[in-house]
Amino acid sequence: MTLHREGRGTILTVTLLVAFINGLVFSTVTSSWISFLVAAVSLLFWVFILSFFRIPSRKLTIQDNAIIAPADGEVVVIEEVQADEYFSDRRIQISIFMSPFNVHVNRNPVSGEVVYSQYHPGKYLVAWHPKSSTENERHSVVYRAQGKEILVKQIAGALAKRIVNYLQPGQTVKQTEEMGFIKFGSRVDLLLPMDAKIQVKMGDKPKGGVTVIATL
């Protein structure tokens, strides 16, 4: 397991803060149990921050006709929708909710060309709110693969205040390579062609870069 580069500043800040608080408490507080409690809580918080930016070792799935999960989390939406961005037709939407305890690296679901990459400012509704897909801060990417196009939205939640996306139109990308990162919980939506064969169901917990979401 390694730590993601997006966490360097946060990890350094938290490390210095934890060290300062513990140093202050141990030098000024005479009660040993209070000092122990502060140390234990701050250590747990520090470990949580480290785990949030983890990149676990995995055998990633490479499959030409497959759409691989772009994120860890839980499948909370599988439905037919009218597309409201880039596409004008109906699509199958699959939404993956990411809790603060999930791995937050986002990966390319397919190999192909990036034909659209757009950031949208917005609100910070809780990530499972139905309107979060269209009203929250988000970044949308459209990939062209196997002669078809799919859209992936990185969506901020109530805690997520920063979406990072590395892709630009015209890029050729490879399946399971990093597309971006979202800090502190949110969701990822996929808008797939109507003839895509869905391989997951509600409540499933896919692993980013590993689980086959659908096939083309």
What positions carry a catalytic annotation?
186
SS3 content of the chain, % helix, strand, coil (to 5): 25, 35, 40
Please provide the DSSP assignment of 55-89 as one string: E--------TTEEE-SS-SEEEEEEEEE--SS--S
- For tokens 């970044």, the residue is 139
Distance, CA of 6 to CA of 55 (rounded, Å): 11
Calpha distance 167→161 (Å, rounded): 19
